[in-house]
Chain A
Amino acid sequence: MHNFFLLLNRYRSFLLFLFLEIISLWMLFTKNPYQSGKFFNFFTEISGRVHEFSSSVSYYLNLKNVNDSLMNENSRLMISHFSDDKHDSISFPFLKHAVNENQYDIYTALVVNNTVYQPENFITLNKGIKNGIKPGMGVITQNAVIGIISRVSENYSVAVSLLNTKSLFSVKIKKNNTAGTLTWDGIDPSHAILKYIPKHIVITLGDSVVSSDYSSIFPANIPIGKIEEKKLNPGENFFTLKIKLHADFSKIRYVYIMQNKTSEEQQALEQPTESVSKK
């Protein structure tokens, strides 16, 4: 027994290393992007505050660009206000396929932190539980899908960006309604990869890719990008398509957070059906 304690004492630094390393690796690999625990929410709040401060500095230095984008936004709102009498002043063309006019709640939010060059990118927004944001809501801009909210604290929320090697989005090719899965290769922030398009489908370069009808998070037909390159590896039955994304992720500043009010209803309806089919 004495020898055992001697041994323990001798390797104590290595044992401490093992202990801390296992904690770190556990945090790294069990981290589910959609989880929200009290412990991590505390850190989300802190880092949100710090990033908001730092973003307010760069915001000041970037006022000219912000002005430009606000002018564009204003003009867009004015046009839609006068030309579209069916919806209220913020009008999204893709919402006309919604179940009813009130299916989606839309919140606006400001991006306070954003990365594009990591393999897993996240976006911090300045709206949180207080404003009614919940994990699982979709984040869009006027003309592009940005990501999905994963963690929410009192005043801030963190969204998994579309530029995240672990995120999968259900999309379709607009022309022929073929659904596929959009992923990101972790290298180029202006392009994404569209997989699982069967090889008998006729694909023209430049076809536009939009969000699919199956998602309970996003409405259908939000533009995402254009097909830039197609590749069919020998022996494979599916195309691998390179998509040029509409959104410049490094410059997003204002986003909309969408809540699908019928998504719980849809999931509740689908769940029993799935469990029956599994049996």
Chain B
Amino acid sequence: MKSYINEHILRFIACILLQIFLVSKFSIFGYAFGFIYILFLLKLPVSLSKPFLLLLAFITGFIIDIFSNSLGLHSASCLFMMLVRPFVLSFLMPRGGYDDDTKIDIQYMGFTWFFKYSIFIIFIHHSTLFFLEIFSFQNFWVTLLKILLSSFLTLFLIFSLHFIFKDTEYKKI
């Protein structure tokens, strides 16, 4: 159990460092932005209580906000994403429901499940983020394009991270 918690703390630190030092430094043509830090929130255990999940989402968002001069923006979208997460989880619930030790992972839940789950959550997070940032429907199509391209970039980053660290994870099991 302890190493399990350690794993989440490590992922928290790694995701935030990656986001601040690497991912936030580049964008593709000014349309696609990566937000790798939500991987930490994606993978939080199902069994955690909702208020605790919300607090974690707020803290994560706030830290990212401090480093990107956008106080409130990331925390608001992370919170909303965390609010919606239980609904996405119950929508995608496998037969027999979740156990307390269910890991949100490709190995445990299968590739298709994890793909569907992450794309739902990422799309919700990015939509809130970009519309809050612009706060108008003036450039609706441009914003939508940004949301879609950024979602794919984040998804790509999350899956590539997963496949880079796959071997070590198998050894652990």
Q: Are the CB atoms of B79 and A17 closer together than 8 Å?
A: yes
Q: Are the CB atoms of A27 and B71 closer together than 8 Å?
A: yes
Bound CA–CA A275/B9 (angstroms): 57
- Chain B: CB-nearest residue to A27: B72
Q: Are the CB atoms of A21 and B76 closer together than 8 Å?
A: yes
Contacts of A119 in B (CB 8 A): 133-134
Contacts of A54 in B (CB 8 A): 20-21, 25
Quick check: is A98 within 8 A (CB to CB) of the other chain? no
Within 8 Å by CB of A13, from B25, B50, B139, lies B50
Stretch at the interface among B37-45, B62-70, B118-126, B165-173: B62-70
Bound CA–CA A228/B115 (angstroms): 45
How many A residues have CB within 8 A of the partner chain? 36
Compute the total of residue contacts between A and B using a CB distance below 8 Å.
84
Bound CA–CA A128/B71 (angstroms): 20
Quick check: is A5 within 8 A (CB to CB) of the other chain? no
Q: Are the CB atoms of B72 and A24 closer together than 8 Å?
A: yes
Q: Are the CB atoms of A25 and B72 closer together than 8 Å?
A: yes
Contacts of B55 in A (CB 8 A): 16, 20
Within 8 Å by CB of A21, from B71, B79, B134, B142, lies B79
Q: Are the CB atoms of B30 and A43 closer together than 8 Å?
A: no
Interface residues of B (CB under 8 A from A): 20-21, 25, 27, 30, 33, 49-51, 54-55, 58, 61, 65-73, 75-76, 79-80, 82-83, 132-134, 139, 142
Task: List the 10 closest pairs (A to B, CB-CB), nearest first.
Answer: A28-B72, A27-B72, A13-B50, A24-B76, A24-B75, A122-B69, A24-B72, A117-B30, A27-B71, A43-B66
